Structure 1
Amino acid sequence: MSSSAQTGPQQGAWVDRVLLSGGEDDPCLRFGRPCDRGTLRAQVAERQRQLADAGLAAGGTVALCLPPSPGYVATLLAAWRLGGQVSLLDHRLAEAEVRRALDRLAPQVLVQGTKAPGGAALRGYADVEPVATALRRGRPAETGHALIQLSSGSTGPSKVIGRTAADLEAELGRYALLPRFPRRGERIVLLASMVHVLGLVGGLLHALHAGVELVLPERLTAAGILDAVSWDQRPTTVIGVPFYAELLSGVAQPPGLPHFARMIVAGELVRPGVPAAFAARYGVPLGTMYGMTELGVIATDLTGELHPAVEPTAGLCLEVRDGELHILMPASPYLGATDPARWSDGWLHTRDAARAQDGGRVVILGRNDSQVSIGGLKVDLTEVEHTLGSLPGVAESVIVFEDGVITAYAALADATSAEAVRRRLGQELASYKQPRHLRVLPALPRTATGKLLRDPAGLRKAAEAAGG
C-alpha cells in the first residue's frame, strides 16, 4: 500500500485477518484477568459502534490518548477495523502538549479515559473507560497511513511519522522470522509502552498475530514483574527497556523461574556489564533490539552473545556512511515536507552513530543529534530548551544531557524564582522530559563568537562559580 492510498475497508480486513483471527477460547491478553479472542472480538465490536457514533468512518481520523488498558487495545483495533487513521498520543503528555498535538494533527475524533489511573507511576495498566469525542475542526485522512506517531515530541513536519497497514504487516513478518522471538503458545510480559513502536508492534500486534498471550504486570516493580512471569508455566519473554533489566539485575535472590526464556530490551544503549549481570542472576540471556519509529525493528541480538553488535532483520538493507547508519527505504515515512537530512534518495538517515562489522552486523554508538533516551522514552533536547526559553521570566537557557539526566541552565528575570519556573515547566512538558536539575546563573556563559556555551563542563563550572 502506498502512502497515497486511501484508508478504508482494506484496513478492516487486515485487522480481522492478521490480528483477530483464531479460536474463540484462545488466550490473547491478560490485564490482571485473562481475555480470550472471542471476548476481545466482542470488545472491539462494541468500541467500533462507539467510534461510529462519534462520527468516525472509513478515511476518518482519530487520536487515542489512553493509558495501557483493555480499552486502549479494543479502541485501537476498532478504529483500524473501521478504516480510520489512528494517531497515538502518550497518556503521560501534559495537557499543553496534547493541545499542541491535536492542533497539529487535526483528528476528527479524540478518545481519552474517564479518569486518570491510580498510582500511575508504578501501575502496569489502568482501568479506564474510553470516551470518544467529535472535534469540530478535525480533518479526514489525506494519506493512506493507518498509524500516525510523533517521534520524540519535537516540532517540525519531518517528525510526524506515518505507517501503512502494509508497513505494519511487513514488520510483523520480520518478527515472524526471528528464531528466538515468542511463538504461539508462549507468553510476553510487556513493560514497554504500547504507544511506541517496540511495545506496539513487537509487543501487542506481534502477540495478537502470532498467538502469544500478552501480559501486563499489575505493578512495574521488580517484584511485580517477576510475579507476572510466574503466573504461568508457558515459556515467557519479558520485553522492555534497559532500565528494567538493571532493576531486575539488582534483585538479590530472585525466585526460581524455569519457564523464563529471556528478556529483550530496546530504546537506548545497554550499559556495559548489564547483559552479563542479568544472565548470571537469572540464567537466561538479555537480548537487545535496535529500531526506529519510522521502520520498527531493524536489527537484533536476541541471544545476548553479540553485544554490542546487532544483526539486521530480514529484508532490510543497512549501510554505514561517514559514521552514520543509513537504511534503504524507498518512500519517505514523514508526513508533510521532508527534511533531506532525515530522508533522501531512497535512504533513511537515522542520525545514529554506528560502526560496521563483518557479516553485515553493526554496532550502534548513540545519537548524532539532540535526541536522548530517558528510561527508554525519546526526548528531544531542542524541544525542552525551546519550551523553557519561552516561559515568562526566562531570559536565556541551555539544556544539556550529562551523567544520564537532563540539566537546565537558565538566566532569570529578577522577579522570577526557580520554583516558579519548575512549576510552569511541569505544566508544559511530560514528567520524563523535565530537567532533573535547574541551575540558575546571572547570565549564561558565551563563546568568543557570542554563542551560548553548550559544553557541560564549562556550564557546570560557571554555575558553581555563581553558586547556582
Structure 2
Amino acid sequence: MRDYVTELLRRHGDDVPLFSHHHTVTHGDLRASVAAEAALFAAAGVGADSNVAVQVPPSFTQLEVVLALWTLGARVVSFDHRFTRAEREVEHALARPQFVVRATGHVGGAFRERYELVTERRPDGVPATTRHRLVQFSSGSTGTPKIIGRDTASLVREVERFAAAEGMVRGGERLLLLNNTAYSFGLVGGLLHSLAQGVHLVFPRQGTAADVLRAAAAHEVHFITGQPFHFARLAEHPDRAALRTVRAAFSGAELMPPEVADRFASAYGFRVGECFGTTETGALTLDVAGTTRPAVGRPLGDTRLRVRDGLVEVALEDSPYLRDDGVVRYADGWFRTGDRGELDARGNLRLLGRSDSLVIVRGQMVDLTEVEAALRRHPRVAEAIAVYDGRVEVYVGAESDTLSTEDVARWCRELLVEYKHPQRIHVLRTLPRTANGKLLRDPKALAAAR
C-alpha cells in the first residue's frame, strides 16, 4: 500500500483541486500535509507493519491521517468515532492496535476540515502480521463484530473497477460525497478513486437536504454519491436549480426503495443509480443510470459473482476475516454475502433481502443479535429478542416489575451507537417460546404477547 499511495499522491499537479468544504485543498497541499503527518507518526514510533487505529471524524484531517499511515507501510484500523466506549473496547480487543489516533476537543455531527490529534501507544497492542492494510468492522451473526481485512491488491482492484465503470465520475469533475469516509465506499470509491482519477471531492456541512443542496449549488457539482435516506431527503425538498450541474448520482449501503427512486426522479429529472457491495469485498455491481432497477446492475470489472442456493456468493482468493467467529462464510474460494438474490437474463443482479439477522438501518449494518446481547447485559433483563420490520423493535423479559422502557432505552444509549438503538421497546414478564422452548422471533406472535 505504501508504494501505491505514494504514486497516487504524485499523480496530479500541485494546483489541481482535490478536497473542498469552506476551503479547497489541492494535490500539492495534500502532499505537504501527508508528509508532515507521516513525520509526526514516525517520530511516535509508527512504521512498517504498525497496527494503528484511526478514530477521527470525517474531515480533511482524517483523510490525511489515513494516507500518511499508508505511506509509512502501516495497517489502518478504521473506527467509527460515534461508537460508545463499550463498543470501542470490543473492537480494540479484536484488533489489538499498537497506536490509537484520535481527535481532541469537541466532536460534533457536522463536517469539520481540521481536528487536533493525539496519538496514543497501547501497551497491549500487537503489530500487523498479515498483509491486510485496511481493517474494518461489520456486525456479525454471533453478536460480536466481524473483523475484516483488505490487502493492497484488493483495494487496488476496486479502484480499477471504479475507473472502468460506465458513467462513473471522472477526472476534472466534482463529486459531492455524502458517504462516511470511515467506511469502505468513502475511502475507496471516494478518496482513492479521486486521487487516482483527479476527481474533486466536495463535502457538505451535514447530510440534511438544505446542506446538500447548498454545497451542490455553491460548488456546481457533477456527481453525487450517498445512501437512500440522503436522496429521500432531497426528494422531499426539490430544488432543481441547486442540482442543475449534476449529471449522475448513485446510492449504496442498502437498496434504494423504488418509491424513493421515483420521487427523486420526478423531483429532479434524472434517476439515482445503485451500487452494491460489502465491507468484505468492496463494490461488486454498479448501475450509475439506475436503468436496471429493481436490479443493482452487472458485476463490476473482474468481479466473479454467482447465486448458489439462492444466496449471492463472490469469488475471493482468501478469507477476508482476521478472526474466526465460528460462522462459515468463506469456503473453497467463495464468500457468502448473506444476501438473497438472483441473476436476470442480462446478467444483472437482483437482491431479494437478507438471509440472517443482519439488517440495514439508515445505511448502516446492524446485527440484531448484537442488540440482544447488549440488552441481556442489563442486570434486570432475563431474556431479549430484537426484530425488524422497517425499524428495530425489542422485547425484553424482566422478572421484576421495576424495569421501565426508559431504563432500557437509557441502557442502550450507554452501550450502542445511536443507529442501533431500538425504535420500540416492550417490557414483559416472560417472552413467548416455541413448543420446544426456543424464544419466538415472529413479530406477530411477540406483538400478541404484549
Do they superpose with TM above 0.5?
Answer: yes
- Preserved CA contact (<8 Å) 2:142 2:325: no
Alignment of 1:262-301 (within 5 A): 262-301=248-287
Return the alpha-carbon distance in structure 1 between the equivalents of residues 448 and 113 of structure 2.
Answer: 44
* Matched residue SS, 2:293: coil
Alignment of 1:152-167 (within 5 A): 152=139, 159-167=146-154
- Preserved CA contact (<8 Å) 2:314 2:335: yes
- Preserved CA contact (<8 Å) 1:116 1:128: no
Aligned twin of 1:240: 226
Give the 3 Å change call, closer, same or farther, for CA 192–460 of structure 1 in structure 2.
same
Identity %: 38
Return the alpha-carbon distance in structure 1 between the equivalents of residues 311 and 13 of structure 2.
Answer: 46
TM-superposed CA distance for 1:48, in Å, is 0.9
Aligned twin of 2:207: 220
- Preserved CA contact (<8 Å) 1:411 1:442: yes
- Preserved CA contact (<8 Å) 1:216 1:228: yes
- Preserved CA contact (<8 Å) 2:51 2:74: yes
Aligned twin of 2:96: 106
Return the alpha-carbon distance in structure 2 between the equivalents of residues 66 and 340 of structure 1.
Answer: 31
- Preserved CA contact (<8 Å) 2:341 2:353: yes
- Preserved CA contact (<8 Å) 2:9 2:27: no
Which digits, 9 at most, give the CA deviation of each residue in 1:41-60, with x for residues without a partner?
A: 11111211221222211111
Which digits, 9 at most, give the CA deviation of each residue in 1:116-161, with x for residues without a partner?
A: 323x1xx244642121111111101110111011113666889211
- Preserved CA contact (<8 Å) 1:384 1:433: yes
Indicate which of 82, 91, 103 corresponds to 2:81: 91
Aligned twin of 1:350: 337
TM-superposed CA distance for 1:416, in Å, is 3.1
- Preserved CA contact (<8 Å) 1:20 1:209: no
- Preserved CA contact (<8 Å) 1:117 1:127: no
- 1:364 matches 2:355: no
TM-superposed CA distance for 1:292, in Å, is 0.6
* Matched residue SS, 1:199: helix
Return the alpha-carbon distance in structure 1 between the equivalents of residues 219 and 257 of structure 2.
Answer: 31
TM-superposed CA distance for 1:413, in Å, is 3.8
Which digits, 9 at most, give the CA deviation of each residue in 1:180-231, with x for residues without a partner?
A: 1100000111111111112121112111111001111013210110111112
- Which region of structure 1 is more displaced relative to structure 2, 212-221 or 247-256? 247-256
* Matched residue SS, 1:334: coil
- Preserved CA contact (<8 Å) 1:267 1:377: yes
Indicate which of 30, 40, 51 corresponds to 2:41: 51
TM-superposed CA distance for 1:417, in Å, is 3.1
Return the alpha-carbon distance in structure 2 between the equivalents of residues 19 and 367 of structure 1.
Answer: 39
Indicate which of 225, 237, 246 corresponds to 1:251: 237
* Matched residue SS, 2:298: strand
* Matched residue SS, 2:20: strand
Aligned twin of 2:290: 304
- Preserved CA contact (<8 Å) 1:157 1:336: no
Structure 2 gap ranges (5+): none
* Matched residue SS, 2:7: helix
Return the alpha-carbon distance in structure 2 between the equivalents of residues 30 and 82 of structure 1.
Answer: 26
Give the 3 Å change call, closer, same or farther, for CA 95–452 of structure 1 in structure 2.
same
- Which region of structure 1 is more displaced relative to structure 2, 126-135 or 303-312? 126-135
Indicate which of 331, 338, 357 corresponds to 2:318: 331
Q: Which amino acid aligns with 1:294?
A: E
- 1:30 matches 2:20: yes
- Preserved CA contact (<8 Å) 1:289 1:299: yes
TM superposition score normalised by structure 1: 0.92
Aligned twin of 2:306: 319
Return the alpha-carbon distance in structure 1 between the equivalents of residues 313 and 149 of structure 2.
Answer: 19
Give the 3 Å change call, closer, same or farther, for CA 68–266 of structure 1 in structure 2.
same
Which digits, 9 at most, give the CA deviation of each residue in 1:17-49, with x for residues without a partner?
A: 124521111100113211101111111112112
Return the alpha-carbon distance in structure 2 between the equivalents of residues 314 and 157 of structure 1.
Answer: 33
- Preserved CA contact (<8 Å) 2:357 2:368: yes
Q: Which amino acid aligns with 2:149?
A: G
Q: Which amino acid aligns with 1:129?
A: E
* Matched residue SS, 2:441: coil
Aligned twin of 1:185: 172
* Matched residue SS, 1:260: coil
Return the alpha-carbon distance in structure 2 between the equivalents of residues 373 and 171 of structure 1.
Answer: 23
- Preserved CA contact (<8 Å) 1:32 1:217: no
- 1:416 matches 2:400: no
- Which region of structure 1 is more displaced relative to structure 2, 22-31 or 333-342? 333-342
TM-superposed CA distance for 1:82, in Å, is 0.5
Return the alpha-carbon distance in structure 2 between the equivalents of residues 339 and 347 of structure 1.
Answer: 17
Alignment of 1:64-83 (within 5 A): 64-83=54-73
Let me know the Cα RMSD of the aligned residues.
1.7
